[in-house]
Amino acid sequence: MSGATPRLRYGMVGGGEGAFIGAVHRIAAAMDGEWDLVAGAFSSDAARNTRSAAAVHVVPDRAYPTLEAMLAGERALPPEQRMQALAIVTPNHLHKPAAIAALDAGFHVFSEKPMALDLAEALEIEAAVARSGRLYGLAFTYSGYPLVAEARARIARGELGRIRLVEVEYLQGWLSTAIDADGQKQAEWRTDPARAGLGGCIGDIGTHAFQLAEHISGLSVEAVSAQLSIHVPGRRLDDDVAVLMRLAGGATGTLRTSQVAAGEENGLKIRVYGETGGMEWRQMEPNTLVIRWHDRPVETLRAGGPGLDPLAIARQRTPSGHPEGYLEAFANLYRAFGRSIHAGASATPAPGSPDWFPGITDGIRTMTFVQAAIANSAGNDKWTGLADVERLARQGGH
């Protein structure tokens, strides 16, 4: 069609056959018809890499054996053919080298979270983003839901008054037994410090909870008091986390996250309370936002319903009553990322923009949180300030 916006081209590192999150990224990128997967280094196993490429219709000469070969091969192609962005869907230990290599080669990056193994690595990625002028996005999927945007917009407008309490909880039960020791692939690398990083549960899903708490409330967490626990014998990284939080403006909060809450599926929920009322959103019932007022009846908002903020409407894909969920929220992030590429942006749009997506700021904040919580849990201080942890990391300390 004349005047149509051209489709964007991306490559993928990781995400071969049997990998859950790679398929999720491909579905999300494809949902709006704005992205084409044109290249990949899907697996270090040559046969698996070939099969994976064929399964997602990547032609054989663009199924590369390594990331380095993909970056070199794509750069050698004419600009109108080469990939424009790299999706990183590997275990955590490969996030930093893949991101930096792609950015330095001139490609945009959309990465799985957590950003890196630790804050020092995250700062190296931040420097690569700055020198490249390319965009960097992170898959904090839950911030892509329409009613998350609604909650954030209402709080930013001051509808709850001054925020007093932020309570966020993310409970799973899938690691309640030692499936990592039994070789279960997804569990095994997530509990290995060399591949997962400083934290286990706190890095895997605690970062989601933290990012959502700051994003919806609009407040920065200033200090944490944390307890990280290991309940399954022999496990090397935390599987259960409890954190008290001090937030800007005098607000207080708690963050509770666990992967040994037996029987739980994906229990992410958040409650934010101000002077006049509170809001509650649950990921497993994402089309509902409940507002409880101090002096009037409870309100229940529904996705696609009347009276929603334009930011929420922009993320809604179907009429009210038609359930939307994880894949649609994920697609909202890819859509926003792509629009920023088309616009020639060199930085993530502001959170109030309809084209906002989680980026380098969210990455640094979440890795600072992980490092602060781990340090506090291991030490004797009552509170650990996030600004102090970030300052020390930027100075090259540990």
pLDDT digits (tens, 9 = 90+) for 317-367: 988 888 889 999 999 999 999 999 999 998 999 998 999 999 999 999 999
pTM of the model: 0.96
**Where would I find the beta strands (DSSP E) of the chain?**
8-14, 35-41, 85-89, 108-111, 136-138, 163-171, 221-229, 240-247, 252-258, 267-274, 277-282, 288-293, 299-302, 384-385
Average pLDDT (147-158) is 98
Q: Tokens 């590192």 map to which residue?
A: 13
Distance CA 180, CA 77 (A): 42
**Which of 17, 56, 16 has the alpha carbon at shortest distance from 38?**
56
CA 84 to chain centre: 21
Joined tokens for residue 359: 């980026």
Tokens matching residue 277: 């009322």
Read off the DSSP letter of residue 304.
T
For residue 388, being part of any structural domain is answered with: no
71 within domain boundaries = yes
Instruction: Indicate if 132 and 227 belong to the same structural domain.
Output: no
**Is there a single domain that holds both residue 187 and residue 233?**
yes
12 and 54, same structural domain? Answer: yes
Provide the phi-psi class of 352: left if phi over 0, else alpha when psi is between -120 and 50, else beta.
alpha
Q: Does residue 398 lie in a domain region? A: no
For residue 251, give the CATH number of its domain: 3.30.360.10
What are 299's strand-pairing partners?
291
Arithmetic mean of pLDDT, 198-208: 98
Going by C-beta distance under 8 Å and a sequence separation of 6 or more, which residues neighbour residue 7? Answer: 33, 34, 35, 36
**Strand extents, DSSP E, 113-239:** 136-138, 163-171, 221-229
Confidence of residue 18 (pLDDT cuts 50, 70, 90): confident
Three-class SS state of 47: helix
Residue 255 is encoded by which pair of tokens?
């963050």
Q: DSSP readout, 51-92?
A: HHHHHTT--GGGB-SSHHHHHHHHHTS-TTTS-SEEEEES-G
Give the CATH number for residue 71: 3.40.50.720
Helix (H, G, I), strand (E, B) or coil at 132: helix
The total number of structural domains in the chain stands at 2
For tokens 């869907």, the residue is 89
Does residue 150 fall inside a structural domain?
yes
- Domain co-membership, 75 together with 210: no
What tokens appear for 358 in the block?
Answer: 């989680």
Peptide bond connecting 114 to the previous residue in cis, omega within 30 degrees of 0: yes
If 0-12 CB within 10 Å is exposed, 13-18 middle and 19+ buried, where does residue 397 land? exposed
Candidate from 23-27, 179-183, 247-251, 256-260 with smallest mean pLDDT? 179-183
- Residue 130 belongs to domain spanning: 8-141
pLDDT computed for residue 4 by the predictor? 75
Q: Report the pLDDT value the prediction gives residue 1, as an integer from 0 to 100.
A: 38
pLDDT of residue 99: 98
222 and 241 share one domain: yes
Indicate if 121 and 160 belong to the same structural domain.
no
* Residue 3: band (very low, low, confident or very high) from pLDDT cuts 50, 70, 90: low
Residue 78 pLDDT greater than 90, yes or no: yes
Taking residues 146-170, report their average pLDDT.
98
Domain membership flag for residue 231: yes
Burial status of residue 36 (CB atoms within 10 A of its CB: 0-12, 13-18, 19 or more): middle
Which pLDDT value is given to residue 5?
Answer: 85
Give the angle subtended at the CA of 242 by the CAs of 241 and 248, to the nearest 5°.
Answer: 125
Same domain, 38 and 84: yes
Assess whether pLDDT exceeds 90 at residue 165: yes
- Closest C-alpha among 24, 22, 56, 27 to residue 39: 56
Query: How far is Cα 398 from Cα 387, in angstroms, rounded to an integer?
Result: 14
**261, part of any domain:** yes
Can you tell me the distance from the alpha carbon of 2 to that of 280, in angstroms, rounded to the nearest whole number? 45
Last residue of a domain, one of 112, 141, 170: 141
Higher pLDDT among residues 4 and 150, named by residue: 150
pLDDT value, residue 2: 45
Is residue 162 in some structural domain? yes
Q: Is 224 found in the same domain as 177?
A: yes
How many CB atoms neighbour CB 174 within 10 A?
16
What letter does residue 340 receive in the DSSP assignment? H
Residue 27: band (very low, low, confident or very high) from pLDDT cuts 50, 70, 90? very high
